[in-house]
Structure 1
């Protein structure tokens, strides 16, 4: 009970934070999510730990997450992650001897599905900002079919989920979360030999992900197509429209990027958040993977800005009255909302950030 209250509090805080962080969050296919029963969300993975945050805050199911084991190295961080229903998944790069730990994790996943709760898995196995759906590992299939084998009365619904960003690692974010068609797995598991069932489920999820997110084949044409889309200032979050251009090889004419006349507001936001901004700038120098820039930027600034704005509001209230303190908070929030919601997001924009 305490864990659920804690999770709900963090979930609500993150959902509110994403509102202030994102220019627009488009949710498609939400009607495909079953209100009850065991569900496994199979999600593409372009943008680090921000991907599960967008998925879990755009559906009302109680989600459990499988994330890479490296995130659990620090004991304190591990306790926080476990309290938020995150579980480690081990890969060869974590050490061959660590792979045996996955069996225990799979058992926990089976128990979660037995309780008719939900799992979120990233079957590409790693994050990559490239606009390509990569080959899927069979780990998620092993979990599903393992649960079906263990519990004969269980049905597990697999829902592919495509995430597409206008940019990864840029602020403000603009993203589409696209829930695909449910795949019933019991009949598939019982109708074919195991090897064939595994192949069919992987192919079905893969084919759906190529439609649910922007997909450019990773071949010699990738860079040419991407450049054509960028030059035309395409809104990548219009997934169906963008994929149609890619499939037909027909692109709009090149357009100049829109000017950002709200840039002065960004400097005002930085000045008002000077301590969180300076802390972020120092930490950002040590981020090696571009796919983790958004993750750290959002996480650090969410909690630091809440704390920093709260302290500043208390100081103002102490010396000038509570009305002015509340007015400061309201104006600070309004400035961020105006900048985030109205600033243009061009196809090739390198925005600074708070």
Structure 2
């Protein structure tokens, strides 16, 4: 099994996306939207501007041949090159056939997808690390930066830096930096003291590896367990995030087929977690729910509880949604089971 930094980034943002990126049919993906293409161009422009002040070397290898990429990167590290751009580092072994295949979807478009067809050629893997003998970690940091400190190469070692368009050091970026550090440690024989994020208008930002490394391992363990068990996560539609994902149409169709509550306006991920605790996981149960009970949770403040219950009732009964004023939905609307049971 191939676990890449791109895959781990996707897992943090959406478990189902990571599952589909690995086990789904990429031919079912949506083409990138105009807005996503703009974001990609903006990211590329910022990355190029940042690198203008850097002197670096880049490993060259056949597209998709990560074993060759790792070998070329290792050679540059052994030479003591000051800056290595888009190197490939791995923990485990690439290229050995063992009857197991792993999708290479995602690794080459780690942060900025190349526009074009995704290659269909699988990568055959074998390694002897982590949970099983068939897991390989592959990392492609934007920069490997030489620094003082002993390693298997000599009196120098490397730290990683990723270039992000964001102004904030988001947690998922920091987790990926910790992932880079773990894989890099296996390559150079020593854990880097630092990992860096290169942020817009903020420059270099140091990641606290002591803090983030345990969190990274927990997330990595969960991701590996999900993929090893082929445990497909529950679909959830988030209006702001999902529209940029290539699996949006696939997931939205699944959500519609089961009438998932995430399709209701106002049902966010945090609110859905509360609904699951209360056993309100389908339209009928939510439509019959007591909004006062929901209102006791901070996630359902300021009339949100009433609106969510009314939305569920309107959808369940196929009636227009009319927001009620100054009254509890449970006091003024007939129990939907009374309506539906009358035929």
TM-score normalised by L of structure 1: 0.25
Higher-RCO chain (CA-CA 8 Å, sequence separation at least 6): 1
- Which entry has the higher C-alpha Rg, 1 or 2? 2
